[in-house]
Structure 1
Amino acid sequence: MPFAASKTAAAATSAAALLILTACGQAAAPSVSPSEATPSASPSASTSPSPSASTKPIKPSNNLDAITVKNPKFGATPKITVKAPWAIDQTRVKVMTEGKGPVVNPSYVFVNYLGVNGRTGKEFDGNFGKTSTMFDLSSVVPGFKKALEGKKVGTRVLVAMPGSDGYDSQGGSEQAGIKVGDTLIFVVDIVDTVLTGPTGAAITPPAGLPTVTEANGKPTITIPKADPPAKMIAQPLTAGTGRKVTAKDVIAVHYVAVSWKTGKVIEDKTTGVDGGLLSSTIPGWQKGLVGKKVGQRVLLVLPPADSYPKGSNNPPVEAGDTVVYVVDLLYATAQG
């Protein structure tokens, strides 16, 4: 991200350490790892194998009717009850609350969850009442992935998974009391996600601004044959669908930057995701993105005073040049 030139290297390093999508965690946003108190009890597929004897076979059910969830609505701390020992024949999912938010980005799903072992009927992990946890669905156990992929933010699901979709491949989890063959039951709230691109209806900008076209999801900026404006411009190009960004937020973005003088791309962060403290970026970002909505694509035309007054080596900006950005606001959360 375009950190302010006036920031010290130490400050920039500190802000960079908060990048939620490269460091995978920050003060206000969920951590990429589950509860440290029970690391082997989370849905993470990276759990170290531990020797665990197979359990006596239990006749598996083909439905979730035996499971009772107290406080079933999204956001409420659930209580899962099942008459143990109990097992399921295959991963089965029930949507308890249908969310209305965006479909989850598989790489960045923020959740609250509670896990119960079907064999014992006992809870083995959960984070309700704590900070939400961020998961990459490619790194969780198969049953957890099946339960969440394609769902929307605001959804609560009940899922039961046989050992084959749980911890069997890891030999169970001795620390969590999970044996090979154990059915695992989870209630999961999908709290948030990082968008994959801009959302909302397109907004037609005034004439005379740089034009923005898109091919394969990637924006291209064309500079008009005119002198750059004397004052900065922050023009939304889509309406967005999320919360408004505040000055104290940590944000995640895609963006591309072009030199007004040359028309050439000087920075391209349209693949992967970049993020950090908005307050650590250049003045034009701080002024231009506050009040914009998550999901908005924003055109920023930044004269030198709002970008790099003395120029910059990284990105390569000549002193006196105006920099044009297209920024896709993919996520924002308050700094803790």
Structure 2
Amino acid sequence: MRSRPLAALSIAAAAALLLAGCTSSDGTDASADAAGTSTDLCAAAAPSGAASEAITVEGAVGEVPTTVSFTTPVEVTETERTVAVEGDGTALTQSAYVSYALTVYDGSTGEQLESAGYGEDVLPAIPVEVGSGIDEFFGCATAGSRIVLAVPGTSGYATEIYAIDVLEVTPADEWCQVVDASGEMPTVTFDDSGVPTITIPDAEAPAGVVVQVLEEGDGATVESGDSVTVNYSGVAWSDGLVFDSSWENGATATFTTTQVVSGFQRALEGQKVGSTVLVTMAPECGYGVASTSNTNSLAGETLVFVVEIISDETQG
């Protein structure tokens, strides 16, 4: 049996993908959404089984396990999940964000493959949604829980053993909500072609997400999950340099509001088509805190975007 490449197996890698293109909509505690699709994370969790129940993990939740024991080789055909420690914190509900740490082992040899998210090695918090693929891992676990899993290998790869600590859970309606500006904010000027220039003040970056409407449109109101077409330009607060711009790229961007980082999502939803907004977002609302496991070039940066909402394809 072989151990699959770390990039293919880790939830840490999945987190980077989620942040880049799969942030959540505002979920509720209901068991189904407006379209009738189940949002019950408890039901989405993988079932317990003999393999997962036989895994023992020693050490405090939130710290690297001192020992993870299981009899090799572990072979399963379906993912098995057991809650080894039941936490007493907030439970995961649809679209809530989870902060976590994990250790991964090769089920055929017992070799440790990866360990991330402990101490200062912070992983980006990720939204957990039914159908996301990680719903069967986390289910509706509570903060303070430790989950163990046996995950089947594919195409010759070995079964993997996961020990996941649920460090913190933040409900969707509390995550990166828009707050009022608390200090000096960036300014924006536009050239004759309508291309913006963002100027960062010599001041401390604000916390949370701050949205300012530069020009209000008169079109339909953008709702969560709508497909919108926008122009945008983004700079980092630390240096004011443009890291991405549809104006400079020469093409608008189209995406759903739930396919962007949460700070950008907050800037869009509730605004009218035709509006131009300025949004400032703290690192946790963008690409997360920089750490050994989160090496995205924008991790740890407060980001500032100017966004022109051109159309809402969902609204027509």
Q: Give the TM-score normalised by the residue count of structure 1.
A: 0.39
Max radius of gyration: which structure?
A: 1
Q: Give the TM-score normalised by the residue count of structure 2.
A: 0.41
